[in-house]
Structure 1
């Protein structure tokens, strides 16, 4: 999806939110080295008091937001100390959410994928510095040197130079995972290892390389390397498993003042980056694994230290916008932030425009983590509840209305796209050429074929392996519009289609919705 990652509640909104004021404790914690020392002590009983408030905080946010359903779990010192569900799995039905309800996790999948890779690194199958082409010899980027040197770690930390959300629009058109990856070399690159840009399919390529090294498909590898050993019995990278679960949360989108379950997000193409489904009970096991250095209950699932690489900063994801603003970072599939207290936090958010909003936040110095899964397009509830809990734990109170801070940040993310949104056609629009002159088959090396047909309803655009079909409405002269809709085009989006005519017939067309990287021009083939 096109949403910027919300790794840590503070860092995601760094340009807009002001961190709460913090009173220093009388003394730093123990005799820890300076980099591990925090300025705010947590008194005995304060964590338990914060957990006791979770029901009330969650119910309040559910009421304010109108969310259909939500599940929350907390782990502390290796144990699940809280797990509960709120609301409904699907609006209009009676089934309630509980701690075993399976949700789509969206981009929380990246952190879980990083754990799978860490297991394979520990086994000696790959390293984070393994070049992707060592196991995916056909993988290419626009630059031959970068192609040769880009590593699994580069792609898991979003520093390959690929543009933001590279390949997502191909997925929307119906391209498979393999097809999307084979097209990435056509995209322009930013400086290698010097720029951060969030890419679902870049990370997916790295995961595919790990799976190839292991001689398995990614989905099976994840089951054997992580889910089975950890007892995550409701978790899967396969959409079919989610769809077959009776106790699953359905995705919802906002329609007016309500939420409705209208669409289904099928993320198999980018499964390592966004395709996991799981319950909060399962996610609690995974959080405990991270916080306990690879141990769960009485079993050492991963060798000690195996998770250090993904859990530590590799790239600056949000540079400081002011001298007193904290930056945020990204490890391998995991966001790394610094709390106002001085504590390091590990986190990630996930979102599907078609119906998922998720967040987890870990405080390693307290051996504490919370996960929030919701079944609606992102509202900011997950981030707000994580922030409220984090403040209650560390400071004993909540410094501000975090939902009021986060909810407006989600509105632009879900806003319709297109330069003509909200505009009316020109009052003195130039008439188009005869519609038959626009009809034909047009080709694009990145997006493939676009067909313009002329029928009783006028012009129609058919595009992509999914054969998406749209009616074109005349705008002005050789310009038309259509209304795309999907994971990367929120409801109300408008895309211009501009034809170039050579004599009578159109020789090319440019689709605004597909032209963000300047690749949206299609040339006539017939």
Structure 2
């Protein structure tokens, strides 16, 4: 991927957790039991037809196996915090319609004594997606909408760059990331302060990949589908989620509004890792894409939701979500992680879920969530065993929640880990969240760098149909670029000739990025290309 979008680790972690090529070559830190030698079948007369042995069902986990894994997972999680420095973690395990374990470890905020407990509220990031698909399944079960409804049948003003695709793209297409929208389309607008309606309207500016033949992870595509469902019900999405799911399940600490997280007395503060260690951070307000990444909750509440999922839509004897509508979310809809090796396993995306099959052939549902500004989460379900785990942390993507979840399933299935999950995940997850460095590092100008034109060549107002206006002004002895509805200011530092650099910020921050002016014979810049905003070819601003 070209950049570490706000939830970029989520898309990449699908491959990591599906046992695909990225897991090849990983070695176990535990001694493996030798496999039994194969036995030869009895000889068969030449005249008798050969028959395949009957297929054996996957081995079921026993209660003792699950309890043994529960008994060891807290110590593993505590060690993961100690080794990684992540401040706090909460986890819950559901088995056979019970939350059999819920635990908090570490602290809510560095430098303060308050400990994480099972009722601590965390931001979920993209673990919001399977929660939102549960809500939509509930509406589908009420026969208000169908998964295959065109989005425009409920939100007539929506369209995409190709009008035919815009009129045919369905709720399921957008929940499965197969609309043709490019990876993380719309996220950079959120960084600049644009709100939901503006972002959804401007998805039409993105050029599309082949419709239903390509996969690209898009927070705002999924958000549009959820908003269309809410419009079909005549309510706001945040109210729909609360009335259909949170309130019936008694998820009293769960909300799709950032204000609820901010006002929670017992909440986990986000943290990021710097050169000097972990420090308190602040995530951006995810309200514009709440269905995709804006839910906050506790492991106690999420245990209730996992019970609903593993109970096929039933909770404490009450049917909350239609099982057929819920089952559609678990079917492979898109190939998200094609394998490149004969022994690799293809990864799929369902409707708000990563869908895979474990080595025993059992359906496995998973989703990670990641805010680069300070949250990392994961939920994994094994429906045939009525088993699931959720792990929430208050640090930027570190690999810790994924390692804890994978360790738990190894301990339950095998009694030992099959991969050094902590060592593996804490390397690949942070690496996956890194963006390539820009060549325009103003602290390292090229040899013989050309001088810039006078500031007057660049000062002015430039227009862009997607990102809105840009103002370049001379302030404090240098140039400043101003963008977005909140007039965010970015000081420009000279690099070479008409190329400058600026420090990015926000959830999509990628360090330094370039700004290239094109100056005409009249001595005035006619266009500006902003490198960070140009990944999808939309980053050119034209002087007005």
**TM-score grouping bracket, smaller chain normalisation:** over 0.9
Task: Tell me the secondary structure at the aligned position of residue 365 of structure 2.
Answer: strand
Matched, 1:453 2:447: no
Number of the residue aligned with 1:352: 371
Q: Structure 2: state its 5+ residue gaps.
A: 1-5, 38-52
1:508 to 514, 527, 531: 527
Residue 136 of structure 2 aligns with which residue? 117
Query: 1:224-275 CA deviation, whole Å, 9 max, x = no partner?
Result: 0000001110000000011000000011000225211122331001100000
Taking a change above 3 Å as real, the CA distance of residues 430 and 9 of structure 1, as seen in their structure-2 partners, is closer
1:387 aligns with 2:394: no
After superposition, the Cα gap between the structure-2 partners of 1:124 and 1:118, relative to the gap in structure 1 and judged at 3 Å, is: same
Matched, 1:424 2:444: yes
2:277 is matched with 258
2:22 matched residue in structure 1: 15
SS across alignment from 1:154: helix
Residue 191 of structure 1 corresponds to which residue in structure 2?
Answer: 210
- 3-state SS of 1:508 partner: strand
- 1:415-474: CA deviations, max 9, x gaps? 354422667101311111111111000011111111100123210000011211011111
1:487 partnered with 2:494 = no
Query: How far did 1:343 drift?
Result: 2.0
1:403 deviates by 1.2
1:106 to 112, 120, 125: 125
CA shift for structure 1 position 7? 3.7
How do 1:5-404 and structure 2 match up within 5 A? Answer: 5=11, 6-7=13-14, 9-11=16-18, 14-18=21-25, 38-43=57-62, 45-256=64-275, 258-404=277-423
Measured in 1, the distance between the counterparts of 2:219 and 2:481 equals 27
Q: TM-score, normalised by structure 2?
A: 0.91
Deviation larger for 154-163 or 513-522: 513-522
Deviations 1:9-63 (A, max 9, x none): 522864354577898899xxxxxxx999654453551111001111111111111
Distance 2:431 2:214 in 1: 24
Summarize the Cα distance change of 1:76–1:84 in structure 2 as closer, same or farther, 3 Å threshold: same
Instruction: Judge conservation of contact 1:341–1:394 (CA < 8 Å) in 2.
Output: no
Q: Structure 1 378/22 Cα, relative in aligned 2: closer, same or farther at 3 Å?
A: farther
Report if aligned partners of 2:335, 2:348 keep a CA contact under 8 Å in 1: yes
Check 1:269–1:12 CA distance in 2 against 1; reply closer, same or farther (3 A cut). Answer: farther
| Structure-2 change in CA distance of 1:163 and 1:299 (3 Å) | same
Q: CA deviation at 1:302?
A: 1.9
Question: How many Å separate the matches in 2 of 1:169 and 1:361?
Answer: 29
Q: Please list the CA deviations of residues 451-506 of structure 1 after superposition, one character each: whole Å capped at 9, or x if unmatched.
A: 1001232100000112110111111111111011110114xx11111100112111
Query: Relative to structure 1, is the Cα distance of residues 131 and 246 closer, same or farther in structure 2, using a 3 angstrom cutoff?
Result: same
- In structure 1, distance between residues paired with 2:23 and 2:233: 44
Look up the SS of the partner of 1:409 in the other structure.
Answer: helix
* Distance of 1:97 and 1:129 partners within structure 2: 42
Quote the Cα distance in structure 1 between the aligned partners of 2:527 and 2:340.
42
Closer, same or farther in 2 for the Cα pair 1:58/1:35, shift >3 Å? farther
Aligned counterparts of 2:451 and 2:302: Cα–Cα separation in 1? 58
Number of residue-to-residue matches in the alignment? 516
Q: Secondary structure at the match of 2:217?
A: coil
Cα pair distance change 1:113/1:36, threshold 3 Å: farther
1: distance between equivalents of 2:54 and 2:466?
A: 47
Alignment of 1:439 with 2:444, yes or no, is no
Q: 1:481 to 1:35 in 2, by over 3 A?
A: farther
Question: Secondary structure, in 3 states, of the residue corresponding to 1:305?
Answer: helix
Cα separation, partners in 2 of 1:196 and 1:99, compared to 1, 3 Å: same
* TM-superposed deviation, 1:397: 1.0
CA contact (8 A) 1:72 1:372 kept: yes
Contact kept in structure 1, 2:151 and 2:169, CA below 8 Å: yes
Distance between the aligned counterparts of 1:428 and 1:218, measured in 2? 56
SS in structure 2 at match of 1:53: helix
Query: Structure 1 residues 416, 307: CA separation in 2 closer, same or farther (over 3 Å shift)?
Result: closer
- Bigger mean CA offset, 367-376 vs 299-308: 299-308
Deviation at 1:2, TM superposition (A): 5.0
Which SS does the other structure have where 1:74 is aligned?
strand
The question of whether the paired residues in 2 share the 8 Å contact of 1:8 and 1:349 is answered with no
After superposition, the CA RMSD in angstroms is 2.0
Paired residues of 1:38 and 1:343 also in contact (CA < 8 A): no
Change (3 A) 1:496 1:9: closer
Q: CA separation in 1, counterparts of 2:378 and 2:55?
A: 25
Instruction: Give CA deviations for 1:329-373 in whole Å, capped at 9, x if unaligned.
Output: 111001111212322210100000010000011111110000000
Measured in 1, the distance between the counterparts of 2:537 and 2:322 equals: 46
